[in-house]
Amino acid sequence: MKVRNAICYFARTMLAALREIFDEAAYTRFLNRTGMLSSGEAYAAFRREFEEGKARRPKCC
Amino acid sequence: MNKTLRILCWVLIGGLGAVAVGAIALHRGEPINALWLVAAATCCYALGYRFYSRFIATKILALDGLRATPAERMENGRDFLVTNKWVVFGHHFAAIAGPGPLVGPVLAAQCGYLPGTLWVLAGAVFAGCVQDFVILLFSVRRDGKSLTEMAKDEVGVIGGFVAYVAVIAILIILLGVAALIVVNALKASPWGTFTIAMTMPIALLMGVYLRRIRPGKVLEVSALGFVLVMVAIWGGQYVSQNAALAQVFTFSAPTLAILIMVYGFAASALPVWLLLAPRDYLSTFVKLGTIALLGIGIVALHPTLNMPALTRFVDGTGPVFAGKIFPFAFITIACGAISGFHALISSGTTPKLIARETETRMVGYGAMMAESAVAVMAIIAASVMQPGVYFAINSPAGIVGQAPVTAAATISSWGFPVTTAQMQALAHAVGEQTLYNRTGGAPAFAVGMAHIFSHTLGGETLMALWYHFAIMFEALFILTILDAGTRVARFMVQDALGHLYRPLGRTSWYPSILATSALIVAAWGYFLWQGVKDPLGGINSLWPLFGISNQLLATVALCVATTIIVKMHRAKYASVTLVPLAWLVAVTFTASWHKMFDPNPRVGFLAQARVLAAAPGPMTSATARVIFNNRLDAAVTGILVVMVTLVLVESARQWRGILSGAREARIKESPFVRTRLAEERG
């Protein structure tokens, strides 16, 4: 049981990390914050807002 | 686990680490197994994390789990957000891991695997991880402020200004070098060029999928994009075998350089997120997957290292980069040991996601250890090749000769036997016409990686596919850095110009966007063009310049960190940042001196300019340009050193003033607010 819980926790954390790295979590937060439903328009609005901040973040060498 | 068992466990880890490092350092004459490097790295990281980072966390930084972080106090659901520590770790690692820890160690392997391995391990544990950790914590305690803001607040206006200029300079040099690596990897390679060209329509398709079919499902579309890229790699072999198609995708280095500059300008100036955002995701997906696969491949195959521990080129006569092991091996490997650029990430997005101060240790120190592990993998990938093959790939035509027979004879005369038949067979196995003179590190890494992968998955028949997978991975990676870096530099220049003329600072004003994008692309494009036209391959001059600027930025970051530690009345422990700072000053200033004034024309910029100027006969325009470029590189190096010297002097004045009691130790932290999360979590 302990092993199964540990595996579940690991998988959940990995998925959460991937969702954060790939901005899926940021999109979900955007939908919650704006009250919009997921759609092409909502995603375009998210990208517009997101690009403004993300474009200023350096990426390492 | 009881205390005695725990102590025994750590004694065993320490013992194993000592044996592994001893085996790497003392073994001579016969090839050793890569697992020795893996064991040494694992033990060093475990000991460094358990003991050294804990000492810093408790004795110096006094991490306080009850102090609310900016993610909690300023949570807005966008930039500031309380996030699970493992998620922040992944996010931070994905941001700091670039081509640097892959390329630098491959180039440094010309001295053998030993110097690079020791520097990567010691540099990471005692310098790089420390820098990332303390800068992250100090940024967390200052509402997520950037390095330049902290330098201005804690060291002084000069510190802030120098940090700003150093960031722009390093970005420009980095982008020029990164573009040169792509050019050298793709020139005369229809297979590689076709694969990279195909990532454009694939990214557009991903953009349409994200916008029209499944909005926001990035992981899903990245997996789909990855499958399509693999199909493109597989299809590339047919392109390279078809004479007409191969001609379409075969470009010379200058043509590729121009195409990359046009791409960089378009990516910075045009609203092309439909292309760039999906490609960025695809690049991250491939990057994380490949690093994981390479790690598994090395452990599964545990290859033998054919490169000797030390080569004759520790004396500074190496073909890949000129200059003695000290200081040049230490600036050639930057990102795997210590990278100033990481200080920008540690004071950028990451501090705004940290839920508790105590987590900065795992994220800051831990993620840099993971980056260092990537550098160890790169050393292994470079060292599995026969040394003769390694030098044939990485040596410029200006040193070993253009003709394969001459190159093979020159390299063999160094004591690293290689034959034209051997190189021809290898080129054929990876689906290329030739592998000679592919400077830049990327093709050599790709050959090493293909060797490891093909022995683990698919056998020799898949060697060509793995090679082009590795080339695609590196080129895609670097192109993403090119477009992101050009945009970041553009915003920084726009911010500065906005103080002179307000409309120039508006990021949506097109004349400003076009002008600043052109300025940035022209700046890094100049270095790229210089590298493409350089008879010695470009990497010999540009990679050290990049290493010096990156390490000088680390010097600025460590000055800021030491100043804050002194202001915190922890001066007796300031050696944790002061020792790496002193080491970096010794390395970067010595390297800068050599690059400017060394009488050997292969090392010193000015010496090379003098030799070319004194050559008999009429001077061609190409020679005049090389002379000018050498003088320009010397001037850039000199300016960077002068600026960092100013920060050092300013910092030293601060330390002396505070320690003598003449100056008040006033730190600019945000006030203590008790966290709510502690009660919520029990």
CA distance B236 to B470: 14
Chain A closest-CA separation from residue B282 CA (Å): 9
Question: Is B219 within 8 Å of A22 when comparing Cβ atoms?
Answer: yes
Question: Is A61 within 8 Å of B77 when comparing Cβ atoms?
Answer: no
Cα separation values, B534 from B438, B528, B531, B623, B625, Å: 14, 10, 5, 10, 10
pLDDT tens, B460-509?
A: 778 999 999 988 888 887 888 888 888 888 888 888 888 889 888 887 78
Taking CA–CA distances from B95, the nearest residue in chain A reads A59
Alpha-helical regions (H) of B501-569 = 510-533, 539-567
Largest Cα span, chain B: 82
Per the structure, the complete domain to which residue A34 belongs is given by: 23-61
Question: Is B90 within 8 Å of A47 when comparing Cβ atoms?
Answer: no
pLDDT tens, B585-620?
A: 999 999 999 999 999 999 999 999 999 999 888 888
End-to-end CA distance of chain B: 24
Position A41 in a domain: yes
Cα atoms found within 13 Å of the Cα of residue B363, Cβ hemisphere only: 35
Complex ipTM: 0.85
Of A40, A51, A57, nearest to B349 by CB-CB distance is A57
Position A60 in a domain: yes
CA distance B276 to B483: 8
pLDDT tens, B540-576?
A: 888 899 899 889 889 999 999 999 999 999 999 999 9
Helices and strands in chain A, H and E counts: 3, 0
* Residue B277: pLDDT over 80: no
pTM of the complete model: 0.90
Taking CA–CA distances from B547, the nearest residue in chain A reads A61
Residue B1's H or E segment, with its range, is none
Higher pLDDT, B338 or B76: B338
Position A13 in a domain: no
Position A56 in a domain: yes
Question: Is B219 within 8 Å of A24 when comparing Cβ atoms?
Answer: yes
pLDDT tens, B173-182?
A: 988 988 998 9
Position A51 in a domain: yes
Number of domains in chain A: 1
A28-52 mean pLDDT: 88
Question: Is B89 within 8 Å of A17 when comparing Cβ atoms?
Answer: yes
Question: Is A16 within 8 Å of B86 when comparing Cβ atoms?
Answer: yes
C-alpha radius of gyration, chain A, whole number: 16
B681 pLDDT band, cuts 50/70/90, is low
Position A33 in a domain: yes
* Ordered DSSP codes for B102-161: HHHHHHHGGG-HHHHHHHHHHHIIIIIHHHHHHHHHHHHTTTT--HHHHIIIII-HHHHH
Mutation site for A-interface testing, chosen from B76, B83, B87 by largest number of A Cβ within 10 Å: B87
Q: Cis (ω within 30 of 0) for the bond into B351? A: no
Question: Is A58 within 8 Å of B288 when comparing Cβ atoms?
Answer: no
Position A14 in a domain: no
What domains lie within chain B, and their CATH numbers?
Answer: 3-188+251-492+500-660 (1.20.1740.10)
CB proximity list for B8: less than 8 A, separation 6 or greater: none
Among B161-170, B296-305, B344-353, B650-659, the minimum mean pLDDT is found in: B161-170
pLDDT tens, B34-76?
A: 999 999 999 999 999 999 999 999 999 999 999 999 999 999 8
Taking CA–CA distances from A21, the nearest residue in chain B reads B91
Position A46 in a domain: yes
**Contacting A residues, span 16-55, partner chain B, CB-CB under 8 Å:** 16-24, 26-30, 32-33, 38-40, 42-44, 46-47, 49, 51-53, 55
CB B69 within 8 A of CB B142: no
Chain B closest-CA separation from residue A34 CA (Å): 11
Taking CA–CA distances from A40, the nearest residue in chain B reads B211
